[in-house]
Amino acid sequence: MLVSTKEMMAKAREGHYAVGQFNINNLEWTKAILLTAEELKSPVILGVSEGAGKYMCGYSTIVGMVNGMLENLKITVPVALHLDHGSYDAAKACIEAGFSSVMFDGSHYPIEENLAKTTELINICNEKGLSLEAEVGAIGGEEDGVVGGGECADPAECKQIADLGVTMLAAGIGNIHGKYPANWPGLRFDVLEAIKNTTGDMPLVLHGGTGIPADMIKRAIDLGVCKINVNTKCQIAFTEATRKYIEEGKDLVGKGFDPRKVLAPGVEAIKATVREKMELFGSVGKA
Ligand code: 13P
């Protein structure tokens, strides 16, 4: 059964580790992530962007697929199904469809509007026992056509949002989605520390987990990060492994053209990526 992230976040905060959110794109992705989480006895959050939601034929299709896998793959670790960077309407649609967690990204609204919309969604989530992630300050890079500039959040605004009673808070600290430019100056730990000081026990979320070096990840966890999002790294791993299969001509040998064979190396590559990140985040054995 799907669970919210509330208990996962509380345990991660107490245990000084982070739970990975891995974005899904299709059946292979979902299966690879769930099997790895089960094997490593790690809690896990499946992330769905609005674009991926459309691609997978709508939120209820995804809920059906994930619930089916939890049962048929005999998954026992805590799994949350979470909307990533959702609009207000998408958050409501996911709640309706059976997601166990949503992110409302109101970071592009004036703070008053972000506060008002976040409050409405908290009320709905509380009623249904779901978790809600809010965001302050745009996070840089590009995801599903949304471009930001590596911005940092205002700690005072973070406190305003945290005080509403959100489950977890994403705050920009110079992190970027996707590949980091060679001249990226690194995470702003001064900003993270200021946010931590104003928001207290609030579990913080670090987006853009693909290209952040291991030492910075560890320091961010020490400073209160309890959830780290990973998307691009799995995409690159999958595509590289698939390209290798084709380039080696394996699709031309025997029944190598069978899609289950073509996609198998990509699935293994996603598994290896998820394993590496879960080990780095410290969530292995924490289910
Ligand atoms: P990456 O694509 O950089 O891993 O970021 C993922 C993310 O933050 C999803 O919200």
Tens digits of residue pLDDT in 207-263? 999 999 999 999 999 999 999 999 999 999 999 999 999 999 999 999 999 999 999
Contact 103, 73 (CB under 8 A): no
Q: Give me the mean pLDDT over the 66-93 stretch.
A: 98
Q: Please indicate, yes or no, if residue 38 is contained in any of the structural domains.
A: yes
Q: State the total domains in the chain.
A: 1
Q: Please indicate, yes or no, if residue 237 is contained in any of the structural domains.
A: no
| Residue-wise pLDDT tens digits, 110-142 | 999 999 999 999 999 999 999 999 999 755 555
Q: Which residues pair with 46 in a beta bridge?
A: 22, 81
* Ligand 1 center to 225 CA (angstroms): 15
DSSP 41: T
| Residue-wise pLDDT tens digits, 149-168 | 568 899 999 999 999 999 99
**Looking at 15-24, 68-77, 176-185, 233-242, which range is the least confident one?**
176-185
Say what the pLDDT of residue 144 is.
56
Q: Domain holding 155: CATH number?
A: 3.20.20.70
Q: Please indicate, yes or no, if residue 135 is contained in any of the structural domains.
A: yes
Say what the pLDDT of residue 143 is.
54
Q: Please indicate, yes or no, if residue 274 is contained in any of the structural domains.
A: no
Binding site membership of 210 for ligand 1 (Cβ less than 6 Å):
yes
CA distance 240 to 246: 10
pTM for the full predicted model: 0.95
Indicate if the pLDDT at residue 82 is higher than 90: yes
Binding site membership of 231 for ligand 1 (Cβ less than 6 Å):
yes
Categorize the per-residue pLDDT at 182 as very low, low, confident or very high, splitting at 50, 70 and 90: confident
Q: Please indicate, yes or no, if residue 48 is contained in any of the structural domains.
A: yes
Please report, to the nearest 10 degrees, the dihedral formed by the alpha carbons of residues 169, 174, 179, 180 taken in order: -160
H runs (alpha helix) in the chain? 6-15, 27-40, 50-55, 59-72, 88-97, 111-128, 155-162, 189-199, 214-222, 232-247, 259-281
CA distance 194 to 154: 9
Cβ-count burial of 183 within 10 angstroms (0-12 exposed, 13-18 middle, 19+ buried)? exposed
Q: Please indicate, yes or no, if residue 65 is contained in any of the structural domains.
A: yes
Q: Please indicate, yes or no, if residue 251 is contained in any of the structural domains.
A: no
Say what the pLDDT of residue 256 is.
98
215 assigned to active site? no
Residues spanned by the domain of 10: 6-232
Say what the pLDDT of residue 233 is.
97
Q: Please indicate, yes or no, if residue 187 is contained in any of the structural domains.
A: yes
Task: Pick from 21, 22, 23, 280 the residue to mutate for probing ligand 1's pocket: most ligand atoms within 8 Å of its CB.
Answer: 23
Categorize the per-residue pLDDT at 283 as very low, low, confident or very high, splitting at 50, 70 and 90: very high
Contact 131, 100 (CB under 8 A): yes
Say what the pLDDT of residue 180 is.
85
Binding site membership of 283 for ligand 1 (Cβ less than 6 Å):
no
